[in-house]
A = this chain, B = another copy of it.
Amino acid sequence: MWSSDKPPRSDSMRRRIITSILYCSGDMTQLHKHMQKQPFPVQLVEWSLRGVARVILANNPLSGALILGALLMASPWQALLGVLGLLASTLTAIIIGQDSEEVAGGLHGFNGMLVALLIGVFSSAGDWYWWLLLPVCLTAATCTFLFSGLAPLLDRWDLPVSVFPFNMMILMYLSCTGTDNAFFPHHPALPPGAPEHSNSTQLDISQLLQGVPLGVGQIYACGELWPSVLILAAVFIYSPLLCAHALLGSGVGMLAGLSVAVRPSSLYSGLSGFNGALGCMAVGGLFFTFSWRTHLFSIASAFLSAYSDIALSNLLGKMGLPACSWAATLTATLMLLLTARNLSSYRIPIDRVASPEQNLRAHSHWTGGNTDSTDV
């Protein structure tokens, strides 16, 4: 629309800048249309970059590229594993004949990428242990099967599959190979409630503050500050609203962790924040139209995600397993199921979900008719 009307000459430059910014932000549907005429490898790159961004609920190839850069900066080996997982699951989806529109949206990439990243993080065999490529490819491919199988189950209630396949596969991989496996050894996960031997009982405020952006980085299993900031910037490109909720949720997760006295290292590393961030982002803007009500609701969702994560981590930690993003996934699914009038009226049907800003704009067009989408 905005590209068709002719601007007066003086504003031309400013308008062009705004135009290109608008072009790069949000879902970049224009690029998507443009890409459909390109050869397959070029298209695959776009699909994969969208898949990278999908992990953090964004749907923008530019964000994906930025995040990939951040991962490369943090650890090239991890970035390699991630890309391999991404490709393995996307190609599996193409081979078994998943819906091509879904594949093009990167929906069959992010689970594979996440499982590959986590396999890399938990491996105790060190970087560049090439045998790891085998389980990475296999588990990533299996994620596509799980995605395809869970879709008809969740579809009945208009729920997204989100990261259920990743969460299942990483638990399966880690419990299949034990901690002292001969071929694929890995570190056991440490529950957040485990006691820690440290000299000071004082919490370090600056490290706590660092934990907030790190919580966003931990969504990609990345525990370094600058890559985390870059990831935040990538989310900002997609949607400033989503970026704000990511930070807010991570902060809420930290508060939740403080309130039940989890071990300090869990707070400092951002591990206690990333579920809160995901839970907050899903509700605040993405699956619900933004308003002050959904804003409060997203804070509640962040708290619930964070507390559930501590509970699940303590439970699974007894068997040496991590809770990954089970807590945020389950909480977001619960929130999408809510039938309470004051919240469900803001619910956006899954097939209409776009970036929060676009959701806001689109809201006025269909308000009224679709309030009962959850209780079909």
A250 at the interface (CB under 8 A from B): no
A177 touching B315 by the CB < 8 A rule? no
A172 at the interface (CB under 8 A from B): yes
B260 touching A181 by the CB < 8 A rule? yes
A341 touching B152 by the CB < 8 A rule? no
Of all chain B residues, the one with the shortest Cβ separation from A320 is B318
A334 touching B149 by the CB < 8 A rule? yes
Fill in one digit per residue for A259-303: 1 if any B CB lies within 8 Å of its CB, else 0. Answer: 111000000000000000000000000000000000000001001
Which parts of A153-212 form the interface with B (CB within 8 Å)? 153, 155-157, 171-173, 175-178, 181-184, 193
Interface SS of chain A: helix
Partner of A172, one of B146, B149, B176, B311: B311
Fill in one digit per residue for A345-376: 1 if any B CB lies within 8 Å of its CB, else 0. Answer: 00000000000000000000000000000110
Partner of A176, one of B97, B307, B375: B307
Fill in one digit per residue for A68-102: 1 if any B CB lies within 8 Å of its CB, else 0. Answer: 00000000000000000000000001011111000
Question: A111 to nearest B CB, angstroms?
Answer: 14
B337 touching A183 by the CB < 8 A rule? no
| Tally of A interface residues using CB under 8 Å | 58
A304 at the interface (CB under 8 A from B): yes
* Cα–Cα, bound, A314→B152 (Å): 30
A338 at the interface (CB under 8 A from B): yes
B184 touching A308 by the CB < 8 A rule? no
How often does this chain occur in the complex, in copies?
3
* Cα–Cα, bound, A310→B184 (Å): 14
B148 touching A304 by the CB < 8 A rule? no
Contacts of A152 in B (CB 8 A): 157, 337, 339, 374-375
Partner of A261, one of B182, B261, B304, B333: B182
Question: A156 to nearest B CB, angstroms?
Answer: 7
Question: A189 to nearest B CB, angstroms?
Answer: 14
A148 touching B340 by the CB < 8 A rule? yes
Of all chain B residues, the one with the shortest Cβ separation from A340 is B96
Which parts of A124-164 form the interface with B (CB within 8 Å)? 138, 142, 145-146, 148-153, 155-157
Task: Given A178-B314, A181-B260, A314-B178, check contact A97 B337 (CB 8 Å).
Answer: no
A193 touching B172 by the CB < 8 A rule? no
Question: A198 to nearest B CB, angstroms?
Answer: 14
Contacts of A24 in B (CB 8 A): none
B176 touching A260 by the CB < 8 A rule? yes
Contacts of A155 in B (CB 8 A): 375
Contacts of A96 in B (CB 8 A): 338, 340-343
Of all chain B residues, the one with the shortest Cβ separation from A341 is B97
Known A-B contacts: A99-B339, A155-B375, A184-B260. Give 6 more (CB < 8 A).
Answer: A95-B342, A145-B304, A149-B337, A149-B338, A152-B375, A172-B311
Interface residues of A (CB under 8 A from B): 93, 95-99, 138, 142, 145-146, 148-153, 155-157, 171-173, 175-178, 181-184, 193, 259-261, 300, 303-304, 307-308, 310-312, 314-315, 318-319, 333-335, 337-343, 374-375
A selection of 10 A-B contacts at a CB cut-off of 8 Å is A93-B340, A96-B341, A96-B343, A98-B340, A99-B339, A145-B334, A149-B334, A150-B337, A176-B308, A183-B260
